[in-house]
Chain A
Amino acid sequence: GAVVSQHPSWVICKSGTSVKIECRSLDFQATTMFWYRQFPKQSLMLMATSNEGSKATYEQGVEKDKFLINHASLTLSTLTVTSAHPEDSSFYICSARDPLAGVSEQFFGPGTRLTVL
């Protein structure tokens, strides 16, 4: 299947700082990428849909000013957690659709584990 990478794989930061997470599609072009968050023993919750060349669309309850998404190219989307607080500590996973692989199949990055002290 298609390959999606994320960087960093884990990050520890102080409360109040901002953290940027990168999501890259390595062998295909992704016009749409998705950002999820997963708390321990819970399911993946979709945060936002990242659209290349346009604004991201956020799910209800997700603060767009806190979780900044930029999808500047067909292979890269970034999620910046601004002014992070301990409650933002979570597992952040991106996914991307390969238009050639199927209508709705998504491929996931390895995730980024964020710990805010």
Chain B
Amino acid sequence: RKEVEQDPGPFNVPEGATVAFNCTYSNSASQSFFWYRQDCRKEPKLLMSVYSSGNEDGRFTAQLNRASQYISLLIRDSKLSDSATYLCAVPGTYDSWGKFQFGAGTQVVVTP
């Protein structure tokens, strides 16, 4: 089993709709989590961090479910500019402290 798994998508979302997707992680000791947005042929850019139960920033909401070991990202009122690949990142613990494990990414395509 991979340490961080994501549904690759693509999630085709009509403009204005809501989309949500999950990221599961295997290390139960993980304390913090990150969502990055990556546009085609570009570097990942930090979207949100999740340290406790969840985080909200405008149209974006991230939630953490420790019992089931997954984090989710919800995008409300989708914009065309939200089209991107969303990467989940989980920092390592113990001897992997500081290292990030990335999921393969979830592709979101917002259509007019």
Q: What chain A residues lie within 8 Å of B32 (beta carbons)?
A: 103-104
Count the A residues whose beta carbon is within 8 Å of the partner chain — how many? 24
Q: What chain A residues lie within 8 Å of B45 (beta carbons)?
A: 108
Contact present for A105 and B44 (CB under 8 Å): no
Q: Mark A26-49, 1 if CB is under 8 A from B, else 0.
A: 000000101000000011111001
B1 within 8 A of A: no
Contact present for B104 and A43 (CB under 8 Å): yes
Contact present for A91 and B41 (CB under 8 Å): yes
Interface of A is mostly: strand
Contact present for A105 and B99 (CB under 8 Å): no
Count the B residues whose beta carbon is within 8 Å of the partner chain — how many? 20
B87 within 8 A of A: yes
Contact present for A34 and B41 (CB under 8 Å): no
Q: What chain A residues lie within 8 Å of B89 (beta carbons)?
A: 106
Which of A1, A45, A102, A108 sits near B44, CB closer than 8 Å?
A108
A24 within 8 A of B: no
Contact present for B43 and A110 (CB under 8 Å): yes
Which of A91, A93, A105, A109 sits near B49, CB closer than 8 Å?
A105
What is the CA–CA distance of A34 and B44 in the complex, to the nearest angstrom?
Answer: 14
What is the CA–CA distance of A93 and B89 in the complex, to the nearest angstrom?
Answer: 15
Residue of B32, B43, B103 contacting most chain A CB atoms (<10 Å): B43
Q: What chain A residues lie within 8 Å of B104 (beta carbons)?
A: 42-43
Q: What chain A residues lie within 8 Å of B105 (beta carbons)?
A: 43
B20 within 8 A of A: no
Give chain B interface residues in 55-110, CB to chain A under 8 Å: 87, 89, 91, 98-105
Q: List 14 A-B contacts (CB under 8 A).
A: A42-B104, A44-B102, A46-B100, A49-B99, A91-B41, A93-B43, A104-B32, A104-B91, A104-B98, A105-B46, A108-B44, A108-B45, A109-B43, A110-B43
Interface residues of A (CB under 8 A from B): 1, 32, 34, 42-46, 49, 91, 93, 95, 97, 102-111, 113
